[in-house]
Amino acid sequence: MTAPVPIRGDAAVKPAATLATAQTRAVSRRHRGRRWLGQLGLGLSVLVLISPALLFFFWMISLSLKNELDNTAYPPVFIPHPPTLDNFVKVFAENDFLRYTINSIIVSFTATGLALLLGVPAGYGIAKAKASKAAVLILIARVTPGLSYLIPLFLVFQWLHLLGTLTPLVVTHLVLTVPIVVWVMIGSFEALPVDLEEAALVDGCDIWQAFRYVAVPLAKPGIVVGMILSFIFSWNTFIFGVVLAGRDTRTLPVAIYNVLTFEQISWGPLAAAALVVTAPVLLLTLVMQKEIVAGLTTGGVKGG
């Protein structure tokens, strides 16, 4: 390209020599002005977009660090002054929060571990057999409301006298974790180059060895994504626990809903408890953002 394309028709009457320079100047000035305006608009847009999240989490932390007097003050006190950790102490001292935390850890880790044991080989099998129809089943599972699993499974657990143990929670969480792991693993095994496995097979590996020693190590990033998503879904899940958990088997989301009702407890400890529940997931998001985003956008999946 030699000269900028004329934007305004009237410029065309000017002599050719000055035309080019004048236009370059006009275009660049206009361009710079527009660029600057654009940057300003972009900055404002981003600010508007992130401020709801920013304000919300700021307020959540602020509530958890203030004493009760400041929390119920009007106009509200924004900056804790002085900040106090009393609310966190109270949550663990006055409730059996430690037990609920352990319950949550057991359920989420077991449900994630089982999902990986079942889902990684399944994803491999489906990817290798090119059985995309099997993936449709997973999509339907994604579409089904959580409550619809809960009603029949509730009866089954009642018949088996399992209500009040952690088993029903782990089993129902599999409803979420197995499909997400299988879904992520189909994608990541399909993306692997086939040459290495074929070489292993030619060299006398059996199909299990090719899977175990070639495909699985190569698919490690995908396994990590599946593991994180499965853990987060399980950790955040509330709907199954609210029905199936007994007094001693509550997971954290159920516990903050059931135990820390507004009559019993004031805002500070409630916000502190909410922060404790969601902190592991938020920290995981901060550390592993790239993996989580990759997993969510390929699957477009969420729990519940």
Partner 1 sequence: MSAATAALTPHPRVRSEGRRNYARSYWLFALPAAVVVAAVIVFPWLFTLVMSVHDWKVSGNVYFVGLANYLHLTQDPRFLWAVARTLYFTAAAVVVPVVLGIWAAVCFARSFPLRGVARTIFVLPMMATPVAIALVWTMMFHPQLGVLNYLLSLVGLPPSAWVYSPGTVIPTLVMVETWQWTPLVMLIVLGGISGLPIDPYEAAIIDGANGWQMFRYITFPLVWPFIVVATVMRIIDALKTFDTIFVITNGGPGTASETINMLLYQTAFGYYDLGYASAMVVVFFLLILLVSVALLRVRKLEQWQ
Tell me which of 45, 79, 94, 246 binds partner 1, using CB under 8 A. Answer: 45
Taking CB under 8 A as the binding criterion, the range among 10-18, 88-96, 219-227, 264-272 that sits at the site for partner 1 is: 264-272
* Residues in 280-299 at the binding interface with partner 1, rule: CB under 8 A: 281-282, 284-286, 289, 292-293, 296-297
Task: Tell me whether residue 280 is exposed, middle or buried, using C-beta atoms within 10 angstroms of its C-beta: 0 to 12, 13 to 18, 19 or more.
Answer: middle
Q: Is there binding between residue 191 and partner 1 (CB under 8 A)?
A: no
Q: Is there binding between residue 216 and partner 1 (CB under 8 A)?
A: no
Tell me which of 16, 17, 69, 129 binds partner 1, using CB under 8 A. Answer: 129
Q: Is there binding between residue 217 and partner 1 (CB under 8 A)?
A: no
- Please name which of 48, 74, 75, 76 lies closest in space to residue 62, comparing C-alpha atoms: 76
Taking CB under 8 A as the binding criterion, the range among 14-22, 84-92, 159-167, 254-262 that sits at the site for partner 1 is: 254-262
Q: Is there binding between residue 57 and partner 1 (CB under 8 A)?
A: yes
Q: Is there binding between residue 12 and partner 1 (CB under 8 A)?
A: no
Token pair for 258: 């059931």
- In whole angstroms, how close is the CB of 245 to partner 1 at the nearest point? 13
Judged by CB, which is closer to partner 1: 42, or 89?
42
- In whole angstroms, how close is the CB of 213 to partner 1 at the nearest point? 15
Count of chain residues binding partner 1 (CB under 8 A): 102
Judged by CB, which is closer to partner 1: 84, or 285?
285
Q: Is there binding between residue 11 and partner 1 (CB under 8 A)?
A: no
- In whole angstroms, how close is the CB of 229 to partner 1 at the nearest point? 10
Token pair for 291: 């993996």
H helix runs in 66-194, sequence order: 68-71, 86-94, 97-128, 132-143, 146-159, 167-190
Tell me which of 88, 97, 100, 124 binds partner 1, using CB under 8 A. Answer: 124
Q: Is there binding between residue 201 and partner 1 (CB under 8 A)?
A: yes
d(C-alpha 64, C-alpha 62), whole Å: 5
Token pair for 230: 């499965």
Token pair for 240: 């199954």
Q: DSSP code of 6?
A: P
**Exposure string over 216-232, b if 16+ CB within 10 A, otherwise e:** bebbeebbebbbbbbbb
Q: Is there binding between residue 304 and partner 1 (CB under 8 A)?
A: yes
- In whole angstroms, how close is the CB of 291 to partner 1 at the nearest point? 12
- In whole angstroms, how close is the CB of 235 to partner 1 at the nearest point? 7
* Residues in 144-183 at the binding interface with partner 1, rule: CB under 8 A: 144-155, 158, 171-172, 174-175, 178-179, 182
Q: Is there binding between residue 92 and partner 1 (CB under 8 A)?
A: no
Local structure of 304: helix, strand or coil? coil
The owner of tokens 């074929």 is 198
d(C-alpha 135, C-alpha 191), whole Å: 16
Taking CB under 8 A as the binding criterion, the range among 90-98, 159-167, 217-225, 250-258 that sits at the site for partner 1 is: 250-258
d(C-alpha 148, C-alpha 227), whole Å: 25
Evaluate the omega torsion of the peptide bond into residue 6 and state whether it is cis, within 30 degrees of 0. Answer: no
- Please name which of 274, 271, 287, 189 lies closest in space to residue 231, comparing C-alpha atoms: 287
Q: Is there binding between residue 200 and partner 1 (CB under 8 A)?
A: no
